[in-house]
Amino acid sequence: MVDILAENLSGKAVMSSDGTELGDLYNITMNLESGELNHLLVSPHEQLRAERVDFEFDEMGRLRVPVANVQAVKDYIVVAR
């Protein structure tokens, strides 16, 4: 697997595996003790309807996408729904 620096991911578009554009990557959360990555925080696109999303929202209205759902990182970050 190719290593990707987190700083290169900031602002990258996030898309679900069914082609729905979810938004742009805001940040990545991690467990500071173990170093394990937890969630992608995604700033949703304005036209994204909440009922079309299977992910939780945080208190700031960002999507919390489990890192385990990431399938690919290229032009988009592709996540499984």
Query: Would residue 7 count as lying in a domain?
Result: no
User: What is the pLDDT, as a whole number, of residue 59?
Assistant: 95
Residue 14's closest CA among 52, 42, 56? 42
Query: How many domains does the chain contain in total?
Result: 1
Query: Would residue 27 count as lying in a domain?
Result: yes
- Quick: pLDDT tens for 35-60: 899 999 999 998 888 777 889 999 99
Residue 28's closest CA among 3, 48, 10? 10
Model confidence at 1, pLDDT cuts 50, 70, 90, reads very low
- Quick: pLDDT tens for 20-40: 999 999 999 999 999 899 999
Tell me, what CATH number does 63's domain have? 2.30.30
Query: Would residue 58 count as lying in a domain?
Result: yes
Model confidence at 74, pLDDT cuts 50, 70, 90, reads confident
All residues at 6 or more sequence positions from 34 whose CB lies less than 8 Å from its CB, including other chains: none
User: What is the pLDDT, as a whole number, of residue 6?
Assistant: 61
